[in-house]
């Protein structure tokens, strides 16, 4: 932006970074910021703003994006996060649960932001996806590669785009048998290959996968057990799972969830555009 002669350029304040630096400076001096609570035990006041901002910074910079969900983040790492919080703030130990919940939300929203802004728009330009965005120097190359692979996978797209009313149970069956290194036991490979083939055919020719004679049953080559539905857990019966009325409830739930996620992503992007910078 141009300025008139004699005027000083306006410097934009980066609130997130300012708070982070202030907290780090206090920590180096052994100073803890006291946290105030209301009668319901909720953080309040200016210290709550600093704490919430700091929780977001920790979630983004200390938790590798290779973890698919907050639930699978190791306890040792969560303990380390809590130690960092207690070093910077004077707060009740009972606040740990709320802090972890907040960091979990920040972790999910950060990964959603990376997906929407830095991965999906460049799906057809793999060269641009080899390295993490330069704004996020704390993201390791290996973690970024794993994250991009997951976000561009067919399974993720199927859920994100809502291309099926429910996640096909053949995908759940396959996922339940997948090892940490993305491989499968030799005995399951023939079934896995048939599932992949049938899923591809279903997407190409619009073959219906509803009803008890679905992809999983065809891939296994055995009829459905009379008392339960494979890959859906012990609480599902064939009548419950294959009932079209139940399917409509699931569809409504997924539609509502997608709308909530869309609104949340829009809010995040709007806030970032107001700040004018992407902070870690």
> Higher model confidence: residue 87 or residue 259?
87
Q: Do the domain assignments include residue 2?
A: no
User: Among 1-10, 93-102, 140-149, 224-233, which is the least confidently predicted range?
Assistant: 1-10
Q: How confident is the model at residue 185, as a pLDDT?
A: 84
47 and 183 in a single domain? The answer is: no
In sequence order, what DSSP letters do the residues of 158-176 get, joined into one string?
HHHHT-SSS--HHHHHHHH
78 and 179 in a single domain? The answer is: no
Q: How confident is the model at residue 21, as a pLDDT?
A: 66
Q: How confident is the model at residue 243, as a pLDDT?
A: 46
82 and 196 in a single domain? The answer is: no
115 and 196 in a single domain? The answer is: no
Strands 43-44 vs 36-37: parallel, antiparallel or unpaired: antiparallel
Question: Taking 90 as the threshold, does the pLDDT of residue 153 lie above it?
Answer: no
Q: How confident is the model at residue 175, as a pLDDT?
A: 78
Write out the residue range of the structural domain in which residue 180 sits. Answer: 154-242
Phi, psi of 178 (to 5 degrees): -80, 130
Structure tokens at 228: 């339960």
- β partners of residue 43: 37
Give per-residue pLDDT as tens, 86-103: 999 999 888 999 999 999
Q: How far is CA 31 from the centre of its chain?
A: 34
Give per-residue pLDDT as tens, 13-53: 444 444 566 666 666 667 788 988 888 788 888 888 889 98
178 and 112 in a single domain? The answer is: no
pTM above 0.75, yes or no: no
180 and 126 in a single domain? The answer is: no
Q: Alpha-carbon distance 224 to 217, whole Å? A: 7
Q: What mean pLDDT is predicted for residues 233-244?
A: 47
133 and 209 in a single domain? The answer is: no
Classify 153 as helix, strand or coil: coil
Give per-residue pLDDT as tens, 159-197: 666 544 456 677 778 877 887 777 888 888 888 888 888
Stated as kind and residue range, the H or E segment containing 113 is helix 96-114
> Rounded mean pLDDT of the chain?
74
Q: How many domains, in total, are found in the chain?
A: 2
124 and 210 in a single domain? The answer is: no
Q: Alpha-carbon distance 209 to 10, whole Å? A: 60
96 and 133 in a single domain? The answer is: yes
Q: How confident is the model at residue 171, as a pLDDT?
A: 78
Q: In this structure, are residues 212 and 224 in contact, taking their beta carbons and an 8 Å threshold?
A: yes
Q: How confident is the model at residue 73, as a pLDDT?
A: 96
Q: Alpha-carbon distance 244 to 43, whole Å? A: 45
Q: Do the domain assignments include residue 145?
A: no
Structure tokens at 79: 């303990």
Q: How confident is the model at residue 241, as a pLDDT?
A: 44
Q: How confident is the model at residue 205, as a pLDDT?
A: 62
116 and 172 in a single domain? The answer is: no
164 and 225 in a single domain? The answer is: yes
Q: Do the domain assignments include residue 112?
A: yes
Q: Do the domain assignments include residue 169?
A: yes
Q: 140: pLDDT confidence band, cut at 50, 70 and 90?
A: very high
Q: Do the domain assignments include residue 47?
A: yes
Q: How confident is the model at residue 268, as a pLDDT?
A: 60
Closest CA to 168 of 225, 247, 223, 240: 247
Question: Taking 70 as the threshold, does the pLDDT of residue 272 lie above it?
Answer: no
Tell the burial category of 270 from Cβ atoms under 10 Å away from its Cβ (0-12, 13-18, 19+). exposed
43 and 121 in a single domain? The answer is: yes
Strands (E), 46-204: 89-90
How many other CB atoms are found less than 10 A from the CB of residue 96? 16
Q: Do the domain assignments include residue 250?
A: no
Q: Do the domain assignments include residue 63?
A: yes
């Amino acid at each position: 932006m141009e300025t008139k002669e004699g005027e000083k350029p306006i410097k934009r304040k980066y609130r997130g970074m300012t708070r982070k630096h202030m907290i780090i400076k206090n920590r180096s001096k052994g100073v803890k910021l006291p946290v105030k609570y209301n009668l319901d035990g909720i953080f309040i006041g200016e210290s709550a703003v600093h704490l919430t901002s700091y929780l977001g910074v920790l979630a983004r910079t200390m938790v590798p994006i290779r973890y698919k969900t907050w639930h699978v983040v190791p306890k040792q790492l969560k303990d380390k996060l809590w130690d960092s919080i207690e070093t910077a703030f004077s707060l009740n130990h009972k606040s740990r649960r709320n802090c972890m919940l907040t960091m979990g939300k920040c972790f999910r929203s950060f990964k959603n932001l990376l997906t929407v802004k830095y991965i999906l728009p460049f799906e057809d330009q793999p060269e641009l996806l080899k390295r993490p965005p330069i704004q996020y120097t704390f993201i390791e190359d290996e973690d970024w590669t794993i994250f991009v692979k997951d976000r561009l996978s067919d399974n993720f797209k199927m859920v994100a785009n809502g291309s099926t009313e429910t996640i096909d149970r053949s995908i759940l069956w396959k996922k339940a048998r997948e090892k940490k290194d993305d491989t499968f036991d030799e005995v399951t490979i023939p079934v896995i290959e048939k599932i992949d083939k049938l899923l591809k055919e279903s997407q190409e020719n619009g073959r219906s996968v509803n009803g008890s004679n679905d992809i999983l049953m065809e891939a296994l080559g055995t009829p459905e057990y009379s008392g339960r539905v494979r890959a859906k857990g012990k609480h599902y019966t064939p009548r419950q799972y294959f009932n079209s009325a139940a399917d409509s409830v699931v569809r409504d739930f997924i539609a509502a969830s997608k709308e909530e996620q869309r609104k949340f992503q829009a809010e995040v992007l709007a806030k970032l555009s107001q700040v004018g910078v992407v902070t870690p």
